[in-house]
Amino acid sequence: MTATTVAERRRVSPPEARVKRWLRRIFIGIPLLALAIWTIYPMLMTLSISFKTKADVSADPGLIPANPTLDGYRSVLEREGFQSAFVNSMVVGLGTALLTVILAVPAAYAFARFRFRGRHLLLLFTLLPRLIPGLGLMVPLYRIAVTLGAIDHLLTLIVAFTGTVLPLAVWLFVGFFQQVPRELEEAANVDGASLYSRIRYIVMPLAFPAIITIGVLAFREAWNEFNLVLGLTSSPGSRTLPYELFLMTQTTGFQDNPGQAAFAIMTIIPFIFVYLRLERYVVSGLTSGALK
């Protein structure tokens, strides 16, 4: 009905309608173009600078470097601390993802399937990360870690990051587990499956997308986190990438622009790669993660 009315109107006055359609296209097209530029252009510029020589950064304004070079990347790779920071970031990222899933799956299962005292802690779980951001934990955790002699251990970072991701992970898993039909488990129960095998062979395979989502979420948190690394590490060998990049901006100032660009690119690329691979699982998880 509506379609015909609109179409009729168009048929009645073709030139006017065409102008209108073009206007509409422009009204949508300009913001879309602006969005694309806003999102991509800063990264493209950084990528471009990372392949320029130090002198060309100001001498050659082109997006495509006139004299492409890998000097920026070389200076980063040769930088003391980069390689260990990269390895640390990987270890801490994977460790956080693994520990988060291992702890969150059973807890979420309990919250989703059992009625027990303490079940209402789940609501608190959803609010805690909002109430207590990483910034608020930076200094207290630093003092606690100093007291416990836990500064500079990768395990400390893994545990701390897991603690901050865990509430969200549990919350997301509960949502997924509640969608797994109870009848499946009841059937398995009748067949004599234990609690462990029900989780392992029925719930976990069905919740596979959730595991991927939460793993990536935890990895992202560990890969990008700066505040807690600032508090919990003090020696060169134990830092992760964001802290190392921060130190580079402090020590080289505006001297080694291609180097800083290359460093930034190298911290971004691995995660973008992971993200693109798993995009269809991750987007909803990431956004709900941010919003909860």
Partner 1 sequence: MSGIDTTPLRDVAGPPEPEIPRRRRLRTLVRADRSSLVGHAGATPYVLSGPSIVMVTALLVFPVVYALWVSLFDAEFIGGPQEFVGFDQYTALLQDPDFMWSVGRTLIFVTGVLVIGVPLGLVFAFALSRATGKLRFLRGITIVPYLISGIATAVIFRLILNRDFGEVNRVLGFLGIEDVAWFSDPTLAMLASMLAQVWSDLPLVILLLLGGLMTVDAELLDAADVDGATGWKRALKVSIPLIIPQLVLATILLSYQALTSLGVILALTGGGPVDATRTLPVALYEAAFVDLETNKAMAIVIVILLFNALLTLGYWLLSRRFDLEEA
Site for partner 1 (CB under 8 A): which residue of 76, 101, 107, 172? Answer: 107
Q: In the window 226-245, what residues touch partner 1 (CB under 8 A)?
A: 226-227, 230-231, 241-243, 245
Question: Does 39 sit near partner 1 (CB under 8 A)?
Answer: yes
Site for partner 1 (CB under 8 A): which residue of 12, 62, 64, 131? Answer: 131
Question: Does 42 sit near partner 1 (CB under 8 A)?
Answer: yes
Residue 154 near residue 245, CB atoms below 8 Å? no
Site for partner 1 (CB under 8 A): which residue of 13, 16, 19, 24? Answer: 24
Total site size for partner 1, rule CB under 8 A: 107
The rounded distance, in Å, linking the Cα atoms of 135 and 220 is 17
Site for partner 1 (CB under 8 A): which residue of 77, 91, 132, 151? Answer: 132
Site for partner 1 (CB under 8 A): which residue of 72, 93, 163, 215? Answer: 163
Q: In the window 72-101, what residues touch partner 1 (CB under 8 A)?
A: none
Question: Does 12 sit near partner 1 (CB under 8 A)?
Answer: no
Site for partner 1 (CB under 8 A): which residue of 7, 19, 40, 155? Answer: 40
**Closest alpha carbon to 240 in 265, 221, 215, 255:** 221
Q: In the window 164-223, what residues touch partner 1 (CB under 8 A)?
A: 164, 166-167, 170, 182-183, 185-187, 189-190, 195, 220, 223
Question: Does 64 sit near partner 1 (CB under 8 A)?
Answer: no
Residue whose CB is less far from partner 1, 79 or 113: 113
Taken in order 100, 103, 105, 109, is the CA torsion positive or negative?
negative
Cβ-based neighbour number of residue 172 at 10 Å: 22
Question: Does 19 sit near partner 1 (CB under 8 A)?
Answer: no
Question: Does 268 sit near partner 1 (CB under 8 A)?
Answer: yes
Question: Does 134 sit near partner 1 (CB under 8 A)?
Answer: yes
The rounded distance, in Å, linking the Cα atoms of 288 and 172 is 8
Question: Does 156 sit near partner 1 (CB under 8 A)?
Answer: no
User: What minimum distance in Å lies between the beta carbon of 234 and partner 1?
Assistant: 10
Angle of the 257-291 helix axis to the 154-179 helix axis, nearest 10: 40
Site for partner 1 (CB under 8 A): which residue of 66, 135, 148, 155? Answer: 135
Question: Does 141 sit near partner 1 (CB under 8 A)?
Answer: yes
Cβ-based neighbour number of residue 92 at 10 Å: 25
